[in-house]
Structure formats: C-alpha cells, structure tokens
Amino acid sequence: QVQLQETGPGLVKPSETLSLTCTVSGGSISGYFWNWVRQPPGKGLEWIGSIYDSGNTNYNPSLKSRVTISLDTSKKQLSLELRSVAAADTAIYYCARDWGYSGSYYPWGQGTLVTVSS
C-alpha cells in the first residue's frame, strides 16, 4: 500500500528556510493531489498547501507569501519550502495524499517535528 515518509532538519533558525521532503512508496504519484499539513505541538491541524502531478499548486493564503511546494515525479517526492520562519512555525509537518474521495486525505505520513529556535 502507499506509504509516505517526511524527512528534513528537525531544527531551523529563525528567519531561515524550512525545507522538507516527502517520499512516496508503494504507489503512483500521478493522478493525485498531494498536501502538506502542520500541527503545532498540542494544537490543531492547519492546511499549508497542495500540488497536483501537473505541477499546479494551491496555497493557504495565510502562508502563501512564504511557501513553495514542488513535485519530482521521477523521484516520487514532494517538497515543502517555508521561508523566513519564526517560532510560530514550530510544528509537526505532515504530507498526505488526497485519494480522490471528497478531498479527504489517505494516507498520511508519520510527520516530522520541526523546531524553530536559535
């Protein structure tokens, strides 16, 4: 079955760029929307943005000026860049597939905690 795994630095300094990769295994990357969602420790879920296999992206307006999501279909990876980070960007970052039913997400990656601190 399809599995997702997020990787990237666990610590980023304020004002720098957070960069994460999500590797897809066990299934095709084509034909789906792929999403990034974050969750500050102990808090709720926030959608960051999505990308389709065509490269079309859609971002949360609250983050749009700082976010870039990209897709490498040959490597079956999607990437997240979040620029000019601050402490408020400390969160668990998840990648998730929109599997085509009501925009719901299945599966999700296990998530990776990114802490913004000097």
Interface with other proteins (CB under 8 A) = 44-47, 58, 60-62, 94, 96, 98, 101-106, 108-111
Cα(58)–Cα(10) distance, integer angstroms: 25
Tell me the closest approach of the beta carbon of residue 26 to other proteins, in angstroms. Answer: 16
Judge contact between 9 and 116, C-beta under 8 A.
Answer: no
Tell me the closest approach of the beta carbon of residue 104 to other proteins, in angstroms. Answer: 4
32 vs 105, which CB is nearer to other proteins? 105
Tell me the closest approach of the beta carbon of residue 101 to other proteins, in angstroms. Answer: 5
102 vs 118, which CB is nearer to other proteins? 102
Structure tokens, 20: 């994460």
Residue that has been written with the tokens 């034909």 in this structure = 31
Cα(38)–Cα(93) distance, integer angstroms: 4
